[in-house]
Amino acid sequence: MSEQNNSAYSDLLRMLEKAAHLLGLPKTEYDFLLEPERELKVAFPLTFDDGHVEIISGYRTQHSSVLGPFKGGVRYFEGATSDEVNTLAALMTYKCALSNLPYGGAKGGVRIDPRRLSRSELERLTRIYTERVIPIIGPQKDIMAPDMNTNSQVMGWIVDEYSRFTGQYCPEIVTGKPIELGGSLGRVQATGFGVFRLTRNVLEKYGRELRGTRVAVQGMGNVGATAAQYLHAEGAVVVAVSDISCGLYCSSGLNIPEIIEHIHSGGGRPRLLADYPADGVIRIGAKDPLFADVDVIIPAAMENQIDAPEAQNVQAKFVVEAANGPTTYDGTEALLKRDIVVMPDILCNAGGVIVSYFEWVQNLQRLSWSETEVRDRLMGMMDSAFAATWDLAREYSTDMRTAAMMVALKRLVAANKLRGMYR
């Protein structure tokens, strides 16, 4: 157990208890959420192209099924641990409840650096991991999706492996898969678009226009890059971005379309910002966008990026969390004391799971919705979740993170009571 990941789960429990206290809920009404329902750890041999074999560890955590089947991504990350996966699974439970989706939270992880794998090695890894978790997954049990370092191709391999194992084609076992295999239009852009939408919504509530707003984005993966693209297109001035290699800064605004074109020019693997031409831009540290002199920062990289000491260096008025858990509990409290608005992850990055739900529904009914229909439904559900959170924050005179957790907790507790879960 890493101290960082253990701290992340403890932070989540502190948030839960704060929300429960404001709602006046005794612990006996929410204690079913304190621990995951199921944790699976697997280990398997992976044969590399050169013939050598390594034992790889993998995880799948199912946090709560009170609202429906489990739902959550699977990440390939050399630092993956069971504690990290547990925290992310729990976050998915609250995210789904906040968005009013009929899902419980889950998350999977494989401890490996996928950058050192060939395509054939990556496929073998995916198929073996799928075989190991098949006993607990299924289209009505647990539906996987892409996460860090996984993509639609990885989902396609999972579809094929699960279908081969069950003897029937089953595209609804995952979401975020290729369009040709039953994926949904608009799924790739959904999370980043949702971050953009919620940024605009909160600015409007504070009487600010998006056009001219200065923004910095930490993390230019799919989510961060998509959010930056929409913000730039709508007139926001994105002055700083970063990835694991470095950051880029330009006080008058970066050329976001050109940067995204650079990232995608590497073929099958994203090109790093360290390789981006330096003309007209200043190279900064990978974490520096979080402390830039801007109106909005968007942490879109890893968890635990802003703790209490680092919160003192944040200059933005708004923190819009695109990553899962980028701000610690103490970091959030420090930001709130400085009157900085924190838009929580379970609200801001829910676009991906919302459109994943749409994809699942389309697969179950063997339907295909247009991208316009998907986008309209997504905006409606995200705006509804934002309104519910905003209204509860005003009713209880609390912050947006606590209010979001309160909305989710109320729905989870109500469902648990109605189901009459045994004790």
Q: Give catalytic residue positions.
A: 107
DSSP codes joined into one string, 321-337: --SSS-B-HHHHHHHHH
Q: How is residue 412 annotated by DSSP? A: H
Do residues 296 and 218 touch, judged by C-beta distance below 8 A?
A: no
Interatomic CA distance for residues 283 and 113, integer angstroms: 26
Interatomic CA distance for residues 385 and 392, integer angstroms: 11
Q: Compute how many other C-beta atoms are within 10 angstroms of the C-beta atom of residue 271.
A: 16
Closest among 201, 252, 199 to 228, alpha carbons compared: 199
Q: How is residue 149 annotated by DSSP? A: T
Task: Provide the residue type at 250 as one letter.
Answer: C
The beta-strand segments (E) located in 111-236 are 142-146, 214-218
Q: How is residue 55 annotated by DSSP? A: E
Interatomic CA distance for residues 26 and 87, integer angstroms: 22
Do residues 114 and 35 touch, judged by C-beta distance below 8 A?
A: no
3-state SS, one letter per residue, for 368-408: CCCHHHHHHHHHHHHHHHHHHHHHHHHHHCCCHHHHHHHHH
At a CB cut-off of 8 Å and minimum separation 6, what does 407 contact?
Answer: 97, 98, 385, 388, 389, 392
What b/e sequence results for 92-110 when a residue is b if at least 16 CB atoms lie within 10 Å of its CB, and e otherwise? bbbbbbbbbbebbbbbbbb
Token pair 């396609």: residue: 156
Strands 214-218 and 237-242, how do they pair?
parallel
